[in-house]
Structure 1
Amino acid sequence: MKMSILIGVIWAMMASVAAAQTQGPVLSVSGEGQVAVAPDMAVISLGVVHVDKTAGAAMTKVSDDARALLDVLTAQGIEARDVQTSQLSINPVWEGNGSSPRTITGFEARNTVTVRVRALDGLGAVLDQVLDAGTNTFGGLRFELQDPSAAQAEARKAAVKDAMDKAAQLSAAAGTQLGDVLSISDGGNAPRPEMFAAARSADVPVAAGELVVSVRVAMTFALAP
């Protein structure tokens, strides 16, 4: 049994070497395509935190403010599908150091939600209103595309063209002729913030700027011998 496995491995290695020799020379390149687009959605993380002597009292305060926060979001036209609780916690507050016993002096309760704001022209008003409602924690803001597929498709075409242009330049410089495409793979894509513009809201000033959708591809071409 062991001998048959060894023979099988040897045959596989020989077949691989033969295939590589038959394939002939190849050229491998990578390409990148970028498309700048205006974002059409913001994702914000905000919530409330309170400290009190008892866990129940701390959580009651947080629950009251969180309820007011959710009411404000609804009043601002934010749909239920765009609001998600991302953190709900209660932890003891300790006092003391290494030279004295640590004691619990109170409890910290926290409720954080992640909110998608699809109407960017109302983002400033949303931020202004939630602060008035008692929101006292803000975990940041990022801009996204609700449907990035069109931008990704455009960037993907640009990445393939970039790779093909590189391949043509390299083969010409080497004095060889570029053949068929043997393989192509998508190296992934991701939008990133770029060139923040003056998109000012009527309330809290917010700059939406642009997102640059970047796509990378790897391609392998046959070369004429």
Structure 2
Amino acid sequence: MATRVQLLSRTAAASLLGLALLANTACSRQDAAESESRRVTLVTVSAAAEARRAPDIATLSTGVLTLAPDANGAIRRNAEQMTRVVAAIRAAGIAAKDVQTSGVSLNPDYQYLANRPPRIKGYYASNTVNVTVRDIGRLGGILDALVATGANQINGPTFDIEDKDAVLDEARGKALDKARARAEGYAKRLGLRVRRVISVDETGGRNAPGPVYARAVMMEQAAAGNASAPIAPGENVLGLSLDVVYELGK
């Protein structure tokens, strides 16, 4: 009787052990499946995009360079001409905040002769201002008025977009679309899917300025009494690059 009870006990124990092994195997398989489902692949893609807009502001540098036999005369003559130039700028409707002095200088004009030390034969005085024009359509007329009132130095214009945020947002959206499409391509080839964005890193925001009309041509046309100097603002380009990290998985 004792022997039979021992056999039953051993059989029960073996059965329990078998059930425990089966349970452990099932758990191991479930853990493996869950681990596989949690396994992720990270992919980093780069994308660049641009957006174009017609510029709405222009900046230029203008001023007066005068020559006189003495320093006081050069400064005085320069101040008289520059006063007329600034008055023309204000008369053109340019706000005071858009006019800023960029340089005032006084330099000797040397005469060089063979075997003799250089001597000062006069003085150059210069005064220049930076001007922001917010109505590009009037830029040609403004340039004409500057030359007509005594400006003999003009550099520019350089064209720009005052509010860049909307343009950059457009470029940003295009870059994100490109990045997502590339991530989807990687995922498809790997038999995975795009789960989520891990990070976005933005660089750039570059600005390619519009064309600059040659200073000499503008002054020559204005001095000849031609119609307003032709201005071609073209388009400005704003662009940026994105590095986007995506999580891929089953």
TM-score normalized by the length of structure 1: 0.79
Q: What are structure 2's unaligned runs of at least 5 residues?
A: 1-38, 213-226
Mapped partners of 2:241, 2:193: distance in 1: 24
Maintained 8 Å contact 2:211/2:233: no
Q: Name the counterpart of 1:8.
A: none
Return the letter of the residue paired with 2:122.
G
Q: Name the counterpart of 2:230.
A: 205
Report the RMSD for the aligned CA atoms in angstroms: 2.5
Q: Name the counterpart of 2:74.
A: 58
Aligned-pair CA distance for 1:111: 0.8
Q: 2:111 aligns with which of 85, 90, 95?
A: 95
Where does structure 1 differ by over 6 angstroms across 4 or more consecutive aligned residues?
none
Q: Name the counterpart of 1:112.
A: 128
Whether 2:241 is the aligned partner of 1:216: answer yes
Q: Name the counterpart of 2:49.
A: 33
Mapped partners of 1:116, 1:85: distance in 2: 12
Aligned-pair CA distance for 1:99: 5.2
Maintained 8 Å contact 2:211/2:232: no
Larger Rg: 2
**3-state SS of the aligned residue for 1:205?**
coil
Whether 2:166 is the aligned partner of 1:161: answer no
TM-score normalized by the length of structure 2: 0.72
CA 1:194–1:144: 2 relative to 1, 3 Å: closer
Q: Name the counterpart of 1:144.
A: 160
**Which shows bigger deviation, 182-191 or 93-102?**
93-102
**3-state SS of the aligned residue for 1:213?**
strand
**Which shows bigger deviation, 187-196 or 132-141?**
187-196
Aligned-pair CA distance for 1:61: 1.5
Aligned-pair CA distance for 1:167: 2.2
Return the letter of the residue paired with 1:122.
R
Return the letter of the residue paired with 1:58.
A
Mapped partners of 1:184, 1:158: distance in 2: 14
Aligned-pair CA distance for 1:89: 1.0
Q: How many pairs align?
A: 199
Aligned-pair CA distance for 1:128: 0.6
The structure carrying a bigger helix percent of its residues is 2
Q: Name the counterpart of 1:16.
A: none
Maintained 8 Å contact 1:193/1:209: no
Q: Name the counterpart of 2:102.
A: 86
Q: 1:188 aligns with which of 174, 181, 204?
A: 204
Q: Deviations over 1:97-148 (max 9, x none)?
A: 7954233222211111111111111111101100101111112111111212
Quick one: percent identity of the two aligned structures?
A: 31
The structure carrying a bigger strand percent of its residues is 1
Q: What are structure 1's unaligned runs of at least 5 residues?
A: 1-22, 197-201
Return the letter of the residue paired with 2:99.
V
Aligned-pair CA distance for 1:163: 1.7
